[in-house]
C-alpha cells in the first residue's frame, strides 16, 4: 500500500515538473518595483507612448496599449511635474503629478492627481499590469482670466 502511494506521488511530482515548462518569474524587489513605476509614470506623463508601452506586461492586454495611447495623446510635448520616487500603498505604487497644457488660443488646462500602477513579475523583470488616474483635479482657464484689470476708482 505504501509503495503504491509513494509511486503515485512520484508520478504526480514528475508530471508537475514536466508540465511546468519554464520556471515561474520571481517576485521583484521593492526597489525594482519602485523603479519601474517611476519610469512608467515619467514616460506616460511626459507623452512618450513607446517608452510607456515597453514597460507593460509582455503579451498583455491590448486594451492597456490603447489606454496608454489615449492617456499620452493630449499631453505629448507638454511639461509635467512628477513627484518621484513612487510611494507604495498596499499592492499599488502611487506617483503624484501636476501638468499644464497651453493651447494656441491662450486657453490652458491644469491637471493634478495621482497615477496608480500595479507592478507584477514577468520573465523580463518587473512590468506594469494595470494603471489608473485617481484624485484628478482639472482646471480650465484662459490667459485673460489670469490678468488683473485696473481699478476704476
pLDDT by position in tens, the chain (length 153): 445 443 444 444 444 444 544 556 778 889 999 999 999 999 999 889 999 999 998 876 788 999 999 988 877 777 789 999 999 988 899 999 998 887 777 788 888 999 999 999 888 889 999 999 999 998 887 755 555 555 555
CB 22 within 8 A of CB 123: yes
Whether 5 is in a domain gets the answer no
What pLDDT is stored for residue 22 in this prediction?
53
Whether 16 is in a domain gets the answer no
CB 87 within 8 A of CB 117: no
Whether 2 is in a domain gets the answer no
Cβ burial of 113 (10 Å; 0-12, 13-18, 19+) is middle
CB 85 within 8 A of CB 38: yes
What pLDDT is stored for residue 5 in this prediction?
45
How many domains is the chain partitioned into structurally? Answer: 1
Whether 85 is in a domain gets the answer yes
Whether 97 is in a domain gets the answer yes
Whether 12 is in a domain gets the answer no
Q: List, in order, residues 6 or more apart from 95 with CB less than 8 Å away.
A: 37, 38, 41, 45, 82, 83, 84, 86, 87, 114, 115, 117
Structural domain range at position 128: 26-146
Q: What span, in angstroms and rounded, lies between the C-alpha atoms of 43 and 33?
A: 15
CATH code of 57's domain:
3.10.450.50
CB 82 within 8 A of CB 40: no
Amino acid at each position: 500500500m505504501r509503495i503504491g502511494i509513494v509511486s503515485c506521488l512520484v508520478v504526480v511530482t514528475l508530471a508537475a515538473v514536466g508540465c511546468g515548462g519554464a520556471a515561474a518569474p520571481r517576485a521583484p524587489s521593492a526597489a525594482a518595483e519602485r523603479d519601474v513605476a517611476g519610469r512608467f509614470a515619467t514616460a506616460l506623463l511626459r507623452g512618450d507612448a513607446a517608452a510607456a508601452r515597453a514597460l507593460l506586461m509582455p503579451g498583455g492586454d491590448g486594451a492597456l496599449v490603447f489606454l496608454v495611447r489615449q492617456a499620452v495623446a493630449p499631453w505629448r510635448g507638454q511639461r509635467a511635474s512628477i513627484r518621484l520616487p513612487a510611494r507604495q500603498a498596499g499592492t499599488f505604487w502611487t506617483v503624484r503629478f501636476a501638468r499644464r497644457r497651453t493651447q494656441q488660443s491662450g486657453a490652458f488646462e491644469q491637471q493634478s492627481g495621482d497615477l496608480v500602477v500595479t507592478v507584477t513579475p514577468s520573465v523580463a523583470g518587473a512590468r506594469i499590469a494595470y494603471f489608473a488616474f485617481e484624485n484628478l483635479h482639472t482646471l480650465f482657464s484662459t490667459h485673460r482670466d489670469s490678468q488683473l484689470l485696473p481699478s476704476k476708482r
